[in-house]
Structure 1
Amino acid sequence: MEIGGLLLAAGAGRRYGMPKALVERDGRRLVQLGAATLAEAGCGPVLVVIGAAADRVRAAAPLLTYVDNRGWDSGMGSSLRAGLEAFEETTADAVVVLLVDMPGVTAAAVERVARHGAPDALVMGGYGDRRGHPVLLGRDHWAGVAAAATGDKGARDYLRAHPDLVRVEQVGDVADDFDLDVPHA
């Protein structure tokens, strides 16, 4: 199985005060941390969707492979659609989706979710009774996910519409699902 990595990093970070892709944590930008997490877990290729401050993100992390989302301001759904469209040009059987503002998701968590990768797979990271990232989307679902991805919902509506197909892989012992929304967090 070929499992790609898709990092969604296009937002302006309005509540944070700057694009979160450019935020430094542990000596690296969040965009670098997220892409490294996917790569360390064995995902490849790793594509990073950018939009707000795209030129600054590229300059800060020039070695990453980017997908431009010109409609980034319409919400995460447009970034997910742009990323899945780019993956259509690859031979990936599935992609693991990670959000740039969740630095607590580890390579170990991505590995656990990715090991269930298949064209027909839908897998979510589990944190006790909560579901979250990373999320694996098999190629067979990309068109349906893209059609359902609107505003800031991403794959949420598609996954909720197919509960019998979604596997939840517990990752809370090796990751956290903290969403970095404000600078002091």
Structure 2
Amino acid sequence: MIAAEDVFLILLAAGRSERFGIPNKLEVPFLNKPLGMHVVTAFENIPFKRRLVVTDGCKLDFLSHHFEVVHNEDPSSGMSQSVKLGVQRAKDEGAQAVLIALADMPRVTAAHIYRMLDAADSADAVVASSDGEKPSPPALFGRDRFDFLLTLDGDAGARDLVKAGRHVVTAPAELIDIDTPEDLDRLQALVHDPKAAITRALTRR
């Protein structure tokens, strides 16, 4: 396992929210707090070495939750630019691993992250989340993978690397990401009708 104290959390919160139709979907209310703050509070008791959030101007108060805010000047270049900004900082400061998470995945739990840390057994570890069918973020990369991550380009990122890594399976509803208003509507339905959670999550595939 890799201890949380040796891991940099890199929270990706940059993007144009084009499919959502507003300037920043992370600021939309969900269960009485902004959408982008759910993962922040879910992880706040995990003792990461450092917490970085990469944004392009999001107005959420990440600083009060002990995040260092890194600004992505060119979010149009794809997610890889945000990843590289975080990974370079982690490499410079001697992190043993990075955990890359998305701010638009509001249902990920700390328990799942600890299972991922338990599954990381070496400096070249690659551990991704999975709904039982396909891998997804959050994903953890050991320090020997940093140089590769720094070569990424566009949005495809480390897809092949993640597919070949270890996968920690959790409930599909935990890995829902919010790209459109319809996604948020479906998530609202899940949390207000827990008995339907599995059925509705399967319907989205």
CA contact (8 A) 1:105 1:133 kept: no
- CA change 1:86–1:23 in 2 (3 A) is farther
Pick the structure with more helix per residue.
2
Q: 5 Å matches for 1:125-144?
A: 125-144=129-148
Asked if the contact 1:35–1:48 (Cα under 8 Å) also holds between the matched residues in 2, the reply is no
Deviates more, 1:133-142 or 1:23-32: 23-32
Match of residue 171 from structure 2: 172
How far does residue 61 in structure 1 lie from its aligned partner after superposition?
3.6
1:87 aligned partner:
90
TM-score (norm 2): 0.76
The code of the aligned residue for 2:34 comes to R
C-alpha displacement of 1:21? 2.9
Query: Secondary structure at 2:119's aligned position in 1?
Result: coil
1:96 counterpart residue number:
99
How far residue 172 of structure 1 moved from its aligned partner, in angstroms, is 2.2
Contact 2:10 2:86 in 1 (8 A): yes
Unaligned ranges ≥5, structure 2: 185-205
Letter in 1 for 2:53: V
Q: Distance in 2 between matches of 1:130 and 1:40?
A: 28
Between the two proteins, what is the percent identity of the paired residues? 29
Q: Superposition pairs for residues 21-170 of structure 1, below 5 Å?
A: 21-51=26-56, 53-54=57-58, 56-57=59-60, 60-63=61-64, 64-117=67-120, 118-147=122-151, 149-160=152-163, 163=164, 166-170=165-169
Q: What's the CA shift for 1:150?
A: 1.7
Q: 1:9 aligns with which of 2, 5, 13?
A: 13
Question: For this pair of structures, how many residues does the alignment match?
Answer: 175
Cα distance change of structure 1 residues 159 and 130 upon mapping to structure 2, 3 Å threshold: closer
Q: When the two structures are superposed, what TM-score results if normalisation uses the length of structure 1?
A: 0.83
Q: Confirm or deny: 8 A CA contact 1:67 1:86 kept in the other structure.
A: no
- 1:26 to 1:42, Cα distance in 2 relative to 1, 3 A: farther
Q: Contact 2:13–2:55 at 8 Å: present in 1 too?
A: yes
Change (3 A) 1:87 1:176: same
CA contact (8 A) 1:9 1:100 kept: yes
Greater alpha carbon shift after TM alignment, 35-44 vs 2-11: 35-44
Distance 1:119 1:68 in 2: 28
2-structure distance, mates of 1:86, 1:42: 18
Shift in alpha-carbon separation, 1:100–1:112, aligned structure 2, 3 A: same
Q: Is the 8 A contact 1:10 1:21 kept in 2?
A: no
